[in-house]
């Protein structure tokens, strides 16, 4: 068994004296692990950092085996090491992909969204792109939020809340006396326009609620990854 694909490195850990086991998010083969011979060497380990873009070749005698990777680094994201906030964003993406996705299941839309996000980390407006990436992640794990229209009135303007039960948007008028039981929806989250720092934090509280709820069974009642919590804390301080 063998295949070739593009990938983003999510994590690396030593395996034996000289090898490493890497986990990658790939374009066509989803989240996938494999052994890299010589991956623990100083020269190779420097290239196997979270977020690195790779050309991959995977081989195994049987499909269910862990197999081995031949890797060619094609895009380094080492420049993010000097940007504490962007680095936190990168590590949050890697941690959530690891925890949320089943192994070897293709997610082409999420792959494209993840690649686009990593390419803009540290640039203008990347935090808004990150929040919208979490919306895409929710969609991929089977609980996409419906922010198209009010669940009560059908209105498409003035959406202000999201139902914690259904994930559907609600206007202030539609919410009425139930507003304090709903989750705030930052204006513009469902679009592509820039978001204020406070809107980003509000958006992350919204997506975090549903990610936590949906992933609790997968995480065996553990909280969301600490890397995501660090990112939210940093953004909250800035806001």
Domains assigned to the chain: 2-76 (2.40.50.140), 82-147+185-238 (1.20.1440.120)
Element (H, E) at 180: none
| Mean pLDDT score of the chain | 95
Q: What's the rounded mean pLDDT across residues 67-73?
A: 95
Q: Find the mean pLDDT for residues 45-67.
A: 92
| Residue 22 backbone phi and psi in degrees, to 5 | -110, 155
Longest dimension (CA), the chain: 64
Q: What is the pLDDT of residue 176?
A: 94
In whole angstroms, give the CA distance from residue 74 to residue 54: 5
Contact between residue 131 and residue 203 where contact means Cβ atoms under 8 Å apart: yes
- pLDDT digits 0-9 by tens, 189-233: 988 899 999 999 999 999 999 999 999 998 999 999 999 999 999
- Asked if residues 234 and 83 have their Cβ atoms less than 8 Å apart, the reply is no
Mean pLDDT of 34-49: 89
Region 50-66: what's the mean pLDDT? 93
pLDDT in tens, 129-155: 999 999 999 999 999 999 999 999 999
pTM of the model: 0.95
Using the Cα atoms of residue 25, residue 30, residue 35 and residue 38 in order, give the sign of their dihedral.
negative
pLDDT in tens, 104-116: 999 999 999 999 9
Distance CA 115, CA 130 (A): 11
């Amino acid at each position: 068994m063998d295949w070739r694909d593009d990938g983003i490195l999510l994590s690396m850990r030593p395996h034996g004296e000289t090898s490493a086991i890497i986990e990658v998010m790939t374009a066509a083969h989803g989240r996938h692990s494999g052994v890299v011979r010589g991956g623990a060497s100083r020269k190779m380990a420097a290239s196997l950092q979270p977020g690195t873009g790779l050309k991959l070749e995977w081989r195994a005698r049987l499909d269910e085996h862990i197999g081995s990777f031949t890797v060619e680094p094609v895009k380094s994201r080492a420049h993010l090491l000097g940007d504490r906030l962007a680095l936190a964003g990168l590590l949050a993406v890697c941690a959530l992909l690891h925890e949320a996705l089943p192994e070897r299941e293709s997610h082409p839309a999420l792959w494209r969204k993840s690649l686009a996000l990593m390419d803009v980390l540290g640039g203008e407006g990347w935090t808004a792109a990150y929040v919208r990436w979490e919306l895409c992640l929710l969609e991929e794990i089977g609980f996409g939020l419906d922010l198209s229209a009010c669940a009560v009135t059908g209105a498409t303007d003035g959406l202000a809340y999201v139902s914690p039960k259904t994930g559907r948007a609600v206007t202030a008028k539609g919410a009425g006396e139930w507003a304090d039981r709903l989750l705030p929806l930052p204006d513009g989250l469902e679009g592509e326009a820039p978001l204020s720092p406070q809107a980003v934090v509000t958006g992350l509280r919204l997506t975090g609620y549903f990610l936590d709820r949906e992933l609790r069974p997968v995480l065996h009642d553990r909280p969301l990854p600490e890397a995501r919590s660090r990112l939210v804390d940093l953004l909250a301080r800035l806001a």
